[in-house]
Amino acid sequence: NTAKKRETLPFQIDGIVINVNNNALFNKLGVAGKSPRAARAFKFSPKQATTKVLDIKLQIGRTGAITPVAVLEPVNVSGVTITRATLHNEDEIERLGIRIGDTVIVERAGDVIPDVAKVLTDLRTGKEKEFHFSKNCPSCLTKLKKLSGEVLWRCPNKNCPAVKRENLYHFVSKKAFDIDGLGPKIIDKLVDEKIITQAVDIFTLKEGDLIPLERFAEKSAKNLTESINKSKKISLSKLIFSLGIRHVGEETANDLADYFGSIDKLKKARKDELEKIGDVGPKIAESIYQWFNTKQNQKFIKELFTSGIEIINKKSKVKNQKLKGLTFVITGVLPTMTREAAIEKIRLFGGEISESLSKMTDFLIVGENSGSKLEKAKKLGIKTINEKDFLAMLK
């Protein structure tokens, strides 16, 4: 009964506690270990389905990391059609013993990408194919490398076409240059037609370059060049984020922008200087330092500015320090504010925002369709608030 009701609840649950509804009896039953005998936890089975593995592919990310992915026969898991599941890394493939053609149980936990929970080896027909994890990049065939202490293989080729493409997607994405109308599909087209080969080329695109492309009407070409021009005015933090420096997420980019105030100063920063900032540790400092001290990247920055990039310094004057010393994490969709607007508010009032929950988190702001973060917050004893509570804190 509760399993059915679960779908309509405004929050996610992974189980219930069943109690004896009689105080006298409850007490009489006593305690075993730390938990009362009259209360029992009941866990729902996670949201699972059974399907077939059609193929296993290696996917390359922006940093060159290789993730194996299972291509699945489409299957519905709690209302969503799933065609892919992550296999995480080589070790996981070995652990599962998964083969192409296998029947598997896939599982969706919260809002994360589904993964393969179990391989049903009893259903094998003998036609399944073992998967050999190639040690060469699927895109450029360069020998893959694994850094010590890491589980992921990476393509070390700085000019790997697949990595370059992923970086282009990142460069134009919402939190970076935010170029309206320039998504992965159009990037793919522009790269395939060799109209662009690197990010800087985007800023020299003319309507005339776009119109000949298949299905590119005059109007959309005009709209795209307009939004490209608009994007040339960018805040320093977004520019830093767009560079795709390893370990530099939105929050770190913001801290770096606040601290250095210009790309020139950041460019010259020493490692020990970088380590003074926010959550930048030796690993992140090294990554930033290496990035700015690579010739190819220095040339890239130079070209960006010659192509007409202009930094707008919206030094958002901190209004007051009501949220000073407090760290927030947001999960789910807020009723009236966009996530970006909420983040801006937090910063404006002197607070910090983080992507993931930790002991340092003070508040989790919970919206609709919040995922596993809510449970984690409860486990860590972090206060959860809704949008209304949050706005009240600012008054």
Where along the sequence are the contacts to Zn ion (CB under 5 A)? 137, 139-140, 142, 155, 157, 160
Block residue for tokens 């290696």: 58
Point out which residues pair with 70 in neighbouring strands.
Answer: 56, 85
Residue 155 or 334: the one with the smaller Cβ distance to Zn ion is 155
Min CB(59)–Zn ion separation in Å: 12
Residue 60 or 285: the one with the smaller Cβ distance to Zn ion is 60
Min CB(246)–Zn ion separation in Å: 16
Min CB(64)–Zn ion separation in Å: 7
> Of 133, 128, 138, which is closest to residue 53 (Cα–Cα)?
128
Residue 104 or 163: the one with the smaller Cβ distance to Zn ion is 163
Min CB(191)–Zn ion separation in Å: 15
What's the chain's length in residues?
395
> Of 251, 248, 63, 253, which is closest to residue 150 (Cα–Cα)?
63
What are the contacts of 371-375 at 24+ separation with CB within 8 A?
A: 371/12, 371/110, 371/111, 371/112, 371/331, 371/332, 372/12, 372/109, 372/110, 372/111, 372/112, 373/329, 373/331, 374/11, 374/12, 374/331, 375/12, 375/14
Distance set, CA 127 to CA 53, 229, 358 (Å): 12, 55, 46
Q: Are 370 and 345 in contact (CB under 8 A)?
A: no
Report helix angle 161-172 to 184-192, nearest 10. 140
Min CB(66)–Zn ion separation in Å: 9
Min CB(193)–Zn ion separation in Å: 21
Cα separation, 62 vs 43, whole angstroms: 38
> Of 311, 298, 317, 309, which is closest to residue 262 (Cα–Cα)?
311
Min CB(298)–Zn ion separation in Å: 23
Point out which residues pair with 72 in neighbouring strands.
Answer: 53
Q: Are 388 and 365 in contact (CB under 8 A)?
A: no
Residue 165 or 238: the one with the smaller Cβ distance to Zn ion is 165
Rounded to a whole number, what is the largest CA-CA distance in the chain? 83
Residue 143 or 302: the one with the smaller Cβ distance to Zn ion is 143
Residue 160 or 330: the one with the smaller Cβ distance to Zn ion is 160
Distance set, CA 126 to CA 14, 73, 96, 130 (Å): 37, 19, 17, 11
Residue 161 or 350: the one with the smaller Cβ distance to Zn ion is 161
Min CB(161)–Zn ion separation in Å: 7
Residue 61 or 350: the one with the smaller Cβ distance to Zn ion is 61
Residue 160 or 346: the one with the smaller Cβ distance to Zn ion is 160
Min CB(166)–Zn ion separation in Å: 11
Residue 157 or 242: the one with the smaller Cβ distance to Zn ion is 157
Min CB(188)–Zn ion separation in Å: 17
Beta strands 383-385; 363-366: pairing state: parallel
- What values do phi and psi take at 344, rounded to 5? -60, -40
Instruction: List the structure tokens of 90.
Output: 């080589």
